[in-house]
Amino acid sequence: MIETPHWQCDIEVRPADWRFPAGKSWIAGWLWSPQNRLTTDLRLWIDGRPFLAIWGLPKPGLDERFLHRPGPPYLGFTILVEPHAGANLLRLEVRDQTNQWTEIFRTGITVADGAPDCPPPKSFPVLLPDLLSPLLRLHRSRPAAPLAALADEIVSGALGEPLNSLPNPPFHGALEEPRDSGWIRFGRLSITGWLAHRHHKITRITAMVDPLQEGALLHGIKRTDVDGVFADLPGRETSAFVGHVDLPADTTVPAMLKVFAELDNGEKHLAFAQRFIPRVIAGADAVLPALSRVTFARAAWALRGSAKRHGLPLGDWAALKPALAAAWSAYAAEAPAQAGRARLAPDISPVKDASSPLRILVVTHNLNFEGAPWFIFELARHLAAQPGTTVRVVSPQDGPMREVFTKAGMPVDVIDVGPALRAKSPPDFQTALAAATAALPWSTTDLVIANTMVSFWAVHAAKQAGKPSLLYVHESAAIRRFFEPLLAPALFPLVEDAFRSATRVVFTADSSRKVFDYLGDRANFALLPSWVDATRVDTFVAAHPSAGLRRKHGLDPAAILVVNIGSVCERKGQHVFIQAVDLLKSELGFTYPGRKIQFVMVGARPGLYLETLKEEIARLSLGEQALFVGETGEIFDFYQLADIFVCTSFEESFPRVLLESAAFRRLIVSTNVNGIAEMIKPDEAWLTPPGDRYRLAEAIKLALVAHVAGDRSRPEKARASILRKYHEAASLPRHARLARAAAELR
């Protein structure tokens, strides 16, 4: 037994007397902290060579003994090493949740004759291009840490020899995602693959990166391409699995995914272990600092110092020069440009004739019941009500909002711009776009209004037709990261060109404008407030008692309802909402005995994400507490029947759900992201970081206390503030004047 002030460890599998034979050897055991430290990585050093462990493996009996439950976290670990000739020192290091590495064991070793020579170390020039940007991201996320210490963390991680694991017979399968890189969307890692067992039925497949959270994957999915190699394998036809697991916000690289299979005989086996580099394609990310040669030089020098401390060859100038050029190119490709040149457009000048004919073509990215289509519907309806103004709507995707626009007297055209968006080059894009938009009524159009950054193509179409355009941007994600899964990289400059060539680019949140600051040097950016229809809200409240709406939707009139409104998708973070419910369920039963508290998610849409949420609810036995309601056009019903409104989004610009919930005088719990901080203050709502289930659960508890106590101070302050800043009577006319002014700038 190995004991330190913070850790207990036992190495159960090792060479006798630490005399290693030539070749590979296994080292395995368990590790536990009586001081509640959490293992987040484990590595073993032989002289200056680090070997990464597979850690967090179930240890039946020991897990229950130390944790008083089966886990997670799991205590077991295994490491495969191949000591080199002449090696004489072995060290075991563990990293905890504070990102600190601690040595817990060291011993002298001997290695038998015939062992391979020590492999040549990687040189600093070889490592530099791949490590500079990760170091800068890490420094942005942990600015208080010394740059040299972060450089050591990055370099040692790059030197580590990973231990990945594939299924051993009688298991057969493949992990297809992640491999060396893993796609991260809003804090979740995408996982796909297939797995089967020759003698037993697989009853459950689980996965984990977070040492405290093990999530189930959807399995038993049809798979048709396994027959060729494994024609006699039972279960091959339904061997596919797919799903997501949460990635802790402070995960360092290389991260490790473990996938476990549970069999019908009760056994649980490690099926896959995979080290990977997380690649964020959506959601919160540690962005690179603005492009700067000074910043680049400081980071490169820190990495050089770390390479020297690790005993790596530093290389001569002939090797270093191309490495520096490659590192700069990688940094420059992703780093935002220096801010400071953007200028807001001048104030809206008075229009010459507010009643002259104005024919507007509104382009929206889809016609779903979502915030952005509702936003543009309300704007289009207001514009269509102005003297001399007509509005026609275009969308590349049909949906239920089509009927809403049509009933309001605005005709809708659905066109196919897919060929343009699938183009591989700007000329191909322009050719395909011209064909897709040729039939639009350009001769009777005075102004194009493009809704969301996804509709950037409409700005190009307007430019081809010689028409002015407004681009309304609701996103707060950098262009290249946002469009990476959607467009060929060659088209990214066309998105940027849309920002520069639009007559006006309109933001409702300054935090969103700052994301695109480097594109605003033409003084065509406008910052205009959003709006809320307070009169409509108050009229609805007076005519629709909460109890009646609850009965209408099959909800208990006597229950406390905590309602999360928004399209059920990863960006909206309903998985974090469910995790918070799981944290609260036992405590709320003691705090409010006999009170029924339900958590309702409004905006469910078919898809993998919804299926994984339903599986998680079933696994956590939350079926009585957590409920789904489909996407609906009767969204006011759910503001009115709610007691507490919750927003769990990872990324928002200026969400209308917060404006409307405040107008309905609801207690509000929300993530504090992007434009939310501009619209609501800490004394008006309970604000939490995105993706933090613990802080979210605590905020919901405080909101429940206020609800039960009848404390209405926060909702009253929120409503007063929202109406003062965003009443439609003040906001919508400003947008209408901008549309008129833009049309006159043709």
Cα(60)–Cα(39) distance, rounded to whole angstroms?
18
First to last CA, the chain: 80
Helices H / strands E in the chain, number of each = 23, 33
pLDDT at 57: 96
**pLDDT grade, residue 667 (50/70/90)?**
very high
How far CA 246 is from CA of 86, 163, 573, 692, in Å, comes to 42, 21, 11, 11
Cα(64)–Cα(434) distance, rounded to whole angstroms?
66
**pLDDT grade, residue 517 (50/70/90)?**
confident
Report the percentage of the chain scoring pLDDT > 90.
Answer: 74
- 494 and 398 in a common domain: yes
DSSP 161: B
pLDDT at 704: 97
pTM (whole model) above 0.75: yes
Tokens 């020759």 locate to 198
**pLDDT tens across 545-571, in order?**
999 999 999 999 999 999 999 999 888
Other Cβ atoms closer than 10 A to 581: 25
Q: How large is the average pLDDT for residues 26-34? A: 96
Tokens 């609801």 locate to 666
Cα(411)–Cα(362) distance, rounded to whole angstroms?
10
What tokens were used for 674? 């992007």
Is the distance from CB of 284 to CB of 650 less than 8 angstroms? yes
| Residues in Cβ contact with 241 at an 8 Å cutoff, skipping those fewer than 6 apart | 191, 192, 193, 194, 195, 205, 217, 218, 219, 221
- 112 and 129 in a common domain: no
Cα(239)–Cα(636) distance, rounded to whole angstroms?
43
Last residue of a domain, one of 119, 137, 155: 119
pLDDT at 745 over 80: no
Handedness of CA 275, 277, 282, 286 (dihedral sign): positive
- 86 and 142 in a common domain: no
Name 391's bridge partners. Answer: 360
- 583 and 513 in a common domain: no
What tokens were used for 268? 């649980």
DSSP 227: T
Domain containing 74 — which CATH number?
A: 2.60.40.650
Residue 352: inside a domain, yes or no?
A: no
pLDDT at 142: 85
**pLDDT tens across 587-610, in order?**
999 999 989 999 999 999 998 889
Distance, CA of 358 to chain centre = 41
- 133 and 32 in a common domain: no
What tokens were used for 257? 């995914």
148 burial level (CB within 10 Å; 0-12, 13-18, 19+):
middle
Q: Where are the alpha helices (DSSP H) in 310-412?
A: 317-334, 371-384, 401-407
pLDDT at 286: 63
Q: How large is the average pLDDT for residues 468-484? A: 89
- 557 and 516 in a common domain: no
Residue 386: inside a domain, yes or no?
A: yes
Is the distance from CB of 195 to CB of 241 less than 8 angstroms? yes
**pLDDT grade, residue 169 (50/70/90)?**
very high
| φ and ψ of 600, to 5 deg | -110, 130
The amino acid sitting at 533 is D
- 126 and 77 in a common domain: no
**pLDDT tens across 392-434, in order?**
999 999 999 999 999 999 999 999 999 999 999 999 999 999 9
pLDDT at 16 over 90: yes
Residue 340: inside a domain, yes or no?
A: no
Cα(628)–Cα(611) distance, rounded to whole angstroms?
11
**pLDDT tens across 281-306, in order?**
776 666 788 889 999 999 999 999 99
pLDDT at 351: 61
Last residue of a domain, one of 66, 101, 119: 119
Residue 526: inside a domain, yes or no?
A: yes
Q: In what order do the strands lie in the sheet with 644-647?
A: 626-630, 597-604, 560-565, 644-647, 667-671, 686-688
For 131-176, give the DSSP string.
Answer: HHHHHHHHHHH-TTS-HHHHHHHHHHHHH-B---B---TTEEEEEE
Q: Mark 689-707 as b/e (b = at least 16 C-beta within 10 Å).
A: ebbbbebbbbbbbebbebb
- 163 and 143 in a common domain: yes
**pLDDT grade, residue 459 (50/70/90)?**
very high
pLDDT at 337 over 80: no
**pLDDT grade, residue 674 (50/70/90)?**
confident
pLDDT at 347: 66
Mean pLDDT for the chain overall: 92
- 738 and 661 in a common domain: no
pLDDT top residue among 485 and 623: 623
**Domains of the chain: total:** 4
pLDDT at 342: 57
pLDDT at 42: 96
pLDDT at 221 over 80: yes
**pLDDT tens across 681-725, in order?**
999 999 999 888 899 999 999 999 999 999 999 999 999 999 999
Query: Helix (H, G, I), strand (E, B), or coil: what is residue 286?
Result: coil
Residue 562: inside a domain, yes or no?
A: yes
Residue 345: inside a domain, yes or no?
A: no
Cα(406)–Cα(398) distance, rounded to whole angstroms?
13
Is the distance from CB of 546 to CB of 643 less than 8 angstroms? no
**pLDDT grade, residue 728 (50/70/90)?**
very high
pLDDT at 654: 85
pLDDT at 340 over 80: no
Q: Give the orientation angle of helix 426-437 with respect to helix 456-465, to 10 degrees.
A: 70
226 burial level (CB within 10 Å; 0-12, 13-18, 19+):
buried
| Residues in Cβ contact with 468 at an 8 Å cutoff, skipping those fewer than 6 apart | 446, 447, 448, 462, 503, 742, 743, 745, 746
SS (H, E, C) 541-592: HHHCCHHHHHHHCCCCCCCEEEEEECCCCHHHCHHHHHHHHHHHHHHHHHHC
pLDDT at 339: 59
**pLDDT tens across 100-145, in order?**
899 999 999 999 999 999 999 999 999 999 999 999 988 988 888 8
Is the distance from CB of 95 to CB of 44 less than 8 angstroms? no
Other Cβ atoms closer than 10 A to 528: 17
β 525-527/504-507 pair status: parallel
pLDDT at 249: 67
- 486 and 606 in a common domain: no
The boundaries of the domain holding residue 30 are: 2-119
**pLDDT tens across 636-657, in order?**
999 999 999 999 998 888 888 9
Residue 308: inside a domain, yes or no?
A: yes
Domain containing 713 — which CATH number?
A: 3.40.50.2000
Cα(745)–Cα(484) distance, rounded to whole angstroms?
33
- 447 and 329 in a common domain: no
Residue 349: inside a domain, yes or no?
A: no
Last residue of a domain, one of 301, 335, 369: 335
- 238 and 138 in a common domain: yes
